[in-house]
Amino acid sequence: MSGKIVNNVFRASGVIAATPGGLDWSTAVVTGSTLSASAGKGYFINTTSNACTVTLPSSAEIGDQIVFADYARTWSTNNLIIDSNGNNFQGDPDTYTVDYSTAGQSLNIVYSDATKGWLPVSDDAVAITDFVPTIQRAIFAFGNTGSKVNTRNLVNTSGVVASDASGAGTARNNLAATGYGGDKAIFAFGTAASGNTAVSNLVSNTGVVGTDVSAVGDAKGAPCGLNFGTSGQGLFAYGVVSDNVNTRNIVSSAGVVASTVSGAGSERRSLGGTEYGTGLGIYAFGDGAQYYGVSNLVNTSGVIGSDVSAVGTARTHTAGARYGSGGTALFAFGNTAGDVFINTRNLVNNVGVVASDASGAGTARYEVKAAEYGGDKAIFGFGAAASRTGVTNLVSNSGVVASDTSAVATANNGNEGVGYGYS
């Protein structure tokens, strides 16, 4: 017994025990493979790296209580093992094996008597209810307004595009963007005045673009970015180096671009990409040896699958974005063979199946870019038809594309859009 009076209460026998009024949760998170637990205490047991054998007190009295909580929701992988240290547990002797092996479980035990020993007050597995928040804002940046620029246009949670704001980093077009770390974004690659580059620019969760981060990977133009996994990772893939490629660069949850690794699917550029389902991605369309209608699914590890046969009309310079809350996405706009500009859209269901062409809305054009905003909606913007434009088209949370919203920003093609921010 030590410390303040409030940290000491009376046990059933009347003996003063070193515990606060309820339980003493002051012990640090337990990561070891063994623990000697004491009555009147609560323990957070982290079994991420190993199972944990908990030895209960060798003597106990009625009403002694101990609580164990699955700190990292890993008890199903590495169990919590109870050594009842000579006392009974649920009426069975110490020789019996007592494992708790359910993720998210918490175990609240109380000592009854010598016959039944320790009994659970509860051994419930609590649900995980803290879901990752959704992206609320978007940013369009860089591109070609007549000359290569690094200006940016922020999009608020209602899909309203702000006027041009100063940016940062090498002015360029034909770049790509993806989210990372949950609520941040990264622009990378593109074609600068000096040619293709592999520099990248991080975007904070308040929409501020950082200066150039030294190039990693092959300098290339017209790749495409998307999110994958459940840990805030991104992926850049495809594009043109000296020829069209299908290589890829994974972006860590800290926004670090990894070196180039092999990819899969038809080598092409100017394709669209978006996340769908839970932690999955999909690339589709693009041009290379031909205009493509194929798609390529990306698994939760960022690995790209081989071509899935085309469903929609082959096209290039299209864009993709997620919409709704059920893992759905869409591709829209672009140009088909013969430079026919379209506003056609193709919905993607939550298992990555691309639907056939559906009528769209808004000015038919190519080099349109897209991003998520408002939690469950998307916005397509910019591009060119007879001339470059700054109009935008909002997408509802049911995948319906609205007619043109008048341009606020300077007309731009070859820029890029991406969502950011939870606020």
Partner 1 sequence: MSGLVKDNIFGSSGVVLEAAGGLSWQPVVTASTVTVSAAKGYFINTTSNACTITLPSSAETGDQIILIDYARNWGTNAITIDSNGLNFQGEPDTYTVDYDTAGQSLNLVYSDATTGWTPSSDIANALEPVAPPTQRGLFGYGHNASGAHFYSITNLVNSSGTVASDTSGVGTGRWKLAAASYGGDKAIFGFGQSSSASTNVSNLVGNNGVVASDTTGVGTARDFLAAAGYGGDKAIFGFGYSGGPTNLVSNQGVVATDVTRVGANRGSLAAASYGVGLAIFGFGSGPISTTNLVNTSGVVGNDVSGVGTARQELAACSYGGDKAVFGYGFETGGASIRSMTNKVSNTGVVASDTSGVGTVRNALAACGYGGDKGIFGFGQNASSTALSMTNKVSNSGTVAADTSGVGTARWGPAAAGYSFSA
Binding mask 42-71 for partner 1 (x = CB under 8 A): --------------------xx-x------
Name the β-bridge partners of 320. Answer: 331
Candidate list 32, 120, 133, 326; residue touching partner 1; CB under 8 A: 120
Binding mask 232-271 for partner 1 (x = CB under 8 A): ----------------------------------------
| Residues in Cβ contact with 118 at an 8 Å cutoff, skipping those fewer than 6 apart | 56, 60, 82, 84, 87, 88, 89, 90, 109, 110, 111, 112
The number of beta carbons lying within 10 Å of the beta carbon of residue 91 is 12
Q: For tokens 């591709």, name the residue.
A: 331
Structure tokens that stand for 155 in this block: 């999009």
Shortest reach from residue 77's CB to partner 1, in Å: 18
Q: Cβ closer to partner 1: 120 or 133? A: 120
Candidate list 3, 58, 59, 92; residue touching partner 1; CB under 8 A: 92
Shortest reach from residue 81's CB to partner 1, in Å: 10
Position 114 contacts partner 1 (CB under 8 A):
no
Shortest reach from residue 94's CB to partner 1, in Å: 9
Q: For tokens 């706009």, name the residue.
A: 333
Position 3 contacts partner 1 (CB under 8 A):
no
Q: Cβ closer to partner 1: 70 or 416? A: 70
Integer-rounded Cα radius of gyration of the chain: 28
Candidate list 1, 5, 14, 262; residue touching partner 1; CB under 8 A: 14
Candidate list 54, 82, 282, 409; residue touching partner 1; CB under 8 A: 82
Position 90 contacts partner 1 (CB under 8 A):
yes
Shortest reach from residue 47's CB to partner 1, in Å: 16
Position 25 contacts partner 1 (CB under 8 A):
no
How would you class 406 by CB atoms within 10 Å of its CB: exposed for 0-12, middle for 13-18, buried for 19 or more? exposed
User: Cα separation of 203 and 275, whole Å?
Assistant: 19
Candidate list 3, 22, 133, 326; residue touching partner 1; CB under 8 A: 22
Q: Which residues of 204-242 are buried (b: 16+ CB within 10 A; e: fewer)?
A: ebebebbeebeebbbbbbbbbbbbbbeebbbbbbbbbbe
Q: Cβ closer to partner 1: 51 or 116? A: 116
Q: Which residues of 15-27 are buried (b: 16+ CB within 10 A; e: fewer)?
A: eebebbeebbeee
- Asked if 268 contacts 195 with a C-beta cutoff of 8 angstroms, the reply is no
The stretch near partner 1 (CB under 8 A) out of 90-98, 162-170, 174-182, 332-340 is 90-98
Position 76 contacts partner 1 (CB under 8 A):
no
- Asked if 1 contacts 18 with a C-beta cutoff of 8 angstroms, the reply is yes
Q: Cβ closer to partner 1: 112 or 252? A: 112
Concatenated DSSP letters for 178-237? EEETTTEEEEE--EETTEEB--EEEE-TTSPBPPPBPP-S--BBS-EEEEETTTTEEEEE
Q: Which residues of 316-335 are buried (b: 16+ CB within 10 A; e: fewer)?
A: bbbbbbbbbeebbbbbbbbb
Position 339 contacts partner 1 (CB under 8 A):
no
Shortest reach from residue 100's CB to partner 1, in Å: 7
Position 26 contacts partner 1 (CB under 8 A):
no
Position 142 contacts partner 1 (CB under 8 A):
no
Maximum CA pair distance of the chain? 91
Structure tokens that stand for 362 in this block: 């808004």
Candidate list 12, 29, 193, 351; residue touching partner 1; CB under 8 A: 12
Q: Cβ closer to partner 1: 100 or 140? A: 100
Q: Cβ closer to partner 1: 23 or 361? A: 23
Sheet of strand 176-180, all strands in order from the earlier edge strand to the far edge:
176-180, 184-188, 200-203
What residue ranges bind partner 1 (CB under 8 A)?
9-12, 14, 19-23, 62-63, 65, 82, 89-92, 95-100, 110, 112-113, 115-116, 119-124
